[in-house]
Amino acid sequence: METKNSVLSLQKEPFHRRTLEEKLLVKELGPEQPDINIKEHIHDRGRSYTRSFSTSWYKKKAWLTASSETRAMFCFPCLLFQVPGTEQAWTHTGITTIKHFYDKANKHEQTKSHIENAMRLALFGNASIAVQLSEGYRTAIRRHNEEVDQNRLILKKVIDCFKCCGAFEGALRGHDESEHSKGLSDLDASLNAAFDEHLQIVTVFNGTSKTVQNELLDCMLSVAREQIVDEIRSTDFISIIVEASDIPAQCQFVIVIRYIDKAHNVQERFFELVSLQNATADSVATALLERLSSIIPAEHKTKLISQSYDGASVMRGATGGVRTKVQAVYENAHHVHCYAHQVNLVMQKVTSHMTKVRQFFFDVTGLSDFFSRSPKRTGVLDKVVVHRLPRSSAARRNFPSRAVNTVYEHKDDLLQCFVNIRDSDDFDPASIREAGGFLRLLEDEMFSFFLELFHLIMPHVDILYSEFQRRSINMIFIARAMKEFKVNLQKISASLPGLCDAHNSNLQQQQEAKKRCTRGPGELQTLATEVR
Q: Please check whether residue 528 lies inside any domain of the structure.
A: no
**What does DSSP say about strands 334-335 and 304-310: parallel, antiparallel, or unpaired?**
parallel
Q: What percent of the chain has pLDDT over 70?
A: 76
How far apart are alpha carbons 231 and 224 in whole angstroms?
11
User: Quick one: 312 and 192 in the same domain?
Assistant: no
User: Quick one: 292 and 181 in the same domain?
Assistant: no
User: Quick one: 370 and 483 in the same domain?
Assistant: yes
Q: Please check whether residue 267 lies inside any domain of the structure.
A: yes
Question: What's the pLDDT band for 234 if we cut at 50, 70, 90?
Answer: confident
Is residue 396 scored above 60 in pLDDT? no
DSSP collapsed to 3 states, 39-96: EEEEEECCEEEEEECCCCHHHHCCCEEEECCCCEEEEHHHHHHCCCCCCHHHCCCCEC
User: Quick one: 382 and 460 in the same domain?
Assistant: yes
Q: Please check whether residue 383 lies inside any domain of the structure.
A: yes
Given phi > 0 = left and psi -120 to 50 = alpha, else beta, which region is 390? beta
How far apart are alpha carbons 232 and 90 in whole angstroms?
19
Tell me which of 229-238, 272-281, 322-331 is least confident. 272-281
pLDDT of res. 77: 93
Q: Please check whether residue 219 lies inside any domain of the structure.
A: no
User: Quick one: 410 and 474 in the same domain?
Assistant: yes
Q: Which residue segment(s) compose the domain that 299 sits in?
A: 232-341
How far apart are alpha carbons 401 and 416 in whole angstroms?
23
Q: Please check whether residue 222 lies inside any domain of the structure.
A: no
Q: Please check whether residue 281 lies inside any domain of the structure.
A: yes
**What does DSSP say about strands 64-67 and 72-75: parallel, antiparallel, or unpaired?**
antiparallel
Q: What percent of the chain has pLDDT over 90?
A: 10
What is the per-residue pLDDT across 20-32, written as a single tens digit (0 to 9) for each?
888 999 999 999 9
Residue type present at position 195: F
User: Quick one: 153 and 199 in the same domain?
Assistant: yes
Q: Give the number of other CB atoms < 10 A from CB of residue 326.
A: 22
User: Quick one: 325 and 354 in the same domain?
Assistant: no
Q: Residue 240 phi/psi, 5° resolution?
A: -120, 145
Contact at 8 Å (CB) between 95 and 73?
yes
Q: Please check whether residue 529 lies inside any domain of the structure.
A: no
The CATH number linked to 266 is 3.30.420
Contact at 8 Å (CB) between 117 and 83?
yes
Q: Give the number of other CB atoms < 10 A from CB of residue 27.
A: 16
Domain boundary among 123, 151, 170: 123
What is the per-residue pLDDT across 474-521, written as a single tens digit (0 to 9) for each?
778 888 888 998 999 888 888 888 878 776 776 666 666 555 555 555
Is residue 75 scored above 90 in pLDDT? yes
* Residue (of 75, 102, 99, 76) closest to 89 by Cα position: 75
Question: What's the pLDDT band for 175 if we cut at 50, 70, 90?
Answer: very low
pLDDT of res. 116: 93
318-344 mean pLDDT: 75
Is residue 397 scored above 50 in pLDDT? no
Exposed (0-12), middle (13-18) or buried (19+): which is 31, by Cβ within 10 Å?
Answer: buried
The count of structural domains within the chain is 4
Contacts of 341 (CB under 8 A, 6+ apart): 310
* Averaged pLDDT of the chain: 78
How far apart are alpha carbons 442 and 515 in whole angstroms?
19
How much is the pTM? 0.48
What is the per-residue pLDDT across 335-362, written as a single tens digit (0 to 9) for each?
886 555 566 566 666 666 678 888 888 8
User: Quick one: 364 and 484 in the same domain?
Assistant: yes
Distances (CA, A) of 498 to 265, 455, 456, 458, 489: 56, 16, 14, 19, 15
Tell me which of 61-65, 252-256, 378-382, 475-479 is least confident. 378-382
Domain boundary among 192, 208, 224: 208
What is the per-residue pLDDT across 434-447, written as a single tens digit (0 to 9) for each?
888 988 888 888 88
The vertex-353 CA angle with 347 and 359, nearest 5°, equals 90
Tell me which of 30-44, 126-140, 165-179, 355-369 is least confident. 165-179
Contact at 8 Å (CB) between 289 and 326?
yes
User: Quick one: 489 and 388 in the same domain?
Assistant: yes
pLDDT of res. 249: 55
Is residue 450 scored above 90 in pLDDT? no
pLDDT of res. 462: 81
Q: Please check whether residue 444 lies inside any domain of the structure.
A: yes
User: Quick one: 315 and 376 in the same domain?
Assistant: no
pLDDT of res. 114: 93
How far apart are alpha carbons 252 and 234 in whole angstroms?
29
User: Quick one: 361 and 258 in the same domain?
Assistant: no
How far apart are alpha carbons 121 and 81 in whole angstroms?
8
How far apart are alpha carbons 95 and 103 in whole angstroms?
12
Question: What's the pLDDT band for 5 if we cut at 50, 70, 90?
Answer: confident
pLDDT of res. 112: 92
Strand residue runs (E) in 187-312: 238-244, 251-260, 266-276, 304-310
What is the per-residue pLDDT across 180-206, written as a single tens digit (0 to 9) for each?
554 555 555 555 666 666 666 665 555
Residue type present at position 214: N
Contact at 8 Å (CB) between 353 and 359?
no
51-64 mean pLDDT: 88
Domain boundary among 323, 341, 359: 341
pLDDT of res. 525: 54
pLDDT of res. 312: 45
User: Quick one: 41 and 118 in the same domain?
Assistant: yes
